[in-house]
Structure 1
Amino acid sequence: MEKYILLLSCMLCGAIFLGLGAYSVKKKTPMNFWSGVEVPSESISDIPAYNRAVGRLWGGYSAVWFISGLAALWRPVEATILMCVLGAVGAVVLVLVYKRIEKKYRVK
C-alpha cells in the first residue's frame, strides 16, 4: 500500500510542476520564478522565449518526480531516497539554471 501512496504523491507533485511549466509557456507576461517577486515586462527582452525557457525548466524538474513515482512501484525505499536526493539537488539546479535564463533574457 505504501508504494501506491508514494506513487500518487510523486505523480501529483510531478503534475503540479508540469502544469507550472505549461502555464508558463502560455502566459503573455513574464513568468515569475520566485514566490512573491514579479518580473516586470520591460526587464525581459524576449518574453515568449523567456517563458518557454522557464517552462522547460519546470518540465524538466517534473521528470524527477515522475521517475521517482514510477520507481516506487518496484523499490519504494530506494524511490524515496531517489526522490529526496534528486528533489534537493534538483531544487539547487533549478535556481542555478533560472539565474542563467534570467541573465540571458534580461534587458541590458
Structure 2
Amino acid sequence: MGFIIWALAGILFIVGGIYCINSKKEVAFGFWSNSKTAPIEVKNVKAYNKALGKLWCSYGFFFILLGLPLLVDENSPLIIIPSIGVIFELIIAMAIYTINIEGKYRKK
C-alpha cells in the first residue's frame, strides 16, 4: 500500500511535467513553491517551460524508482533508501534548475 501511494505521488510529478511541456500559455511556470515573487522573466517561455517539464518528469520517474524498496517488507530497514534518496534527488533537482535551466533562460 505504501508503494502505491508513493507511486501516485511520482505520477503527479510526471503529469505536472507533461502539462508544463505541452502548455500553450505564454507565462513561465514557477519552480519554487510558495514564492511571493513574480515568476522569473525568461527569454524563451516555451523552451523554458519544456525544460522545466522535463525536469519534473525525470524527478517523478526517479521518485518512483526510489520507492521500490517499499515493496520488500513492511518493517524493512530498506526504508532508509527512499527517505534519504528523496533528499538527494531534490537537492540535485534544485541544482539542475538553478544552474542549467534558470541560468540558460533568465533575461539578463
TM-superposed deviation, 1:16: 1.4
Return the alpha-carbon distance in structure 2 between the equivalents of residues 78 and 98 of structure 1: 32
Q: Percent identity?
A: 27
What CA distance in whole angstroms lies between the structure 1 residues aligned with 2:84 and 2:61?
A: 14
**Matched-pair contact (CA < 8 Å) for 1:24–1:54:** yes
Instruction: Return the letter of the residue paired with 1:93.
Output: I
Give ranges in structure 2 of 5+ residues lacking alignment.
none
Partner of 2:106: 106
* Deviation of 1:23 (Å): 1.8
Point out the structure with the larger helix share: 1
**Is 1:14–2:14 an aligned residue pair?**
no
Aligned length: 102
CA distance in 2, matches of 1:67, 1:79: 13
Query: What is the deviation of 1:82?
Result: 1.8
- 8 Å Cα contact 1:14-1:66 kept in structure 2: yes
Other-structure match for 1:95: 94
For the aligned residue pairs, the C-alpha RMSD in angstroms reads 1.9
For 1:99 and 1:51, the matched residues in 2 are separated by 14
Offset at residue 70 of structure 1 (A): 3.5
Query: Which residue of structure 1 lines up, in the alignment, with residue 59 of structure 2?
Result: 61
1:67 to partner: Cα distance: 1.1
Mean Cα displacement is larger for which, 64-73 or 97-106? 64-73
2:32 is matched with which residue? 34
* In structure 2, C-alpha distance between the alignment counterparts of 1:15 and 1:79, rounded to whole Å: 22
Please give the secondary structure, in 1, of the residue aligned with 2:33. Answer: coil
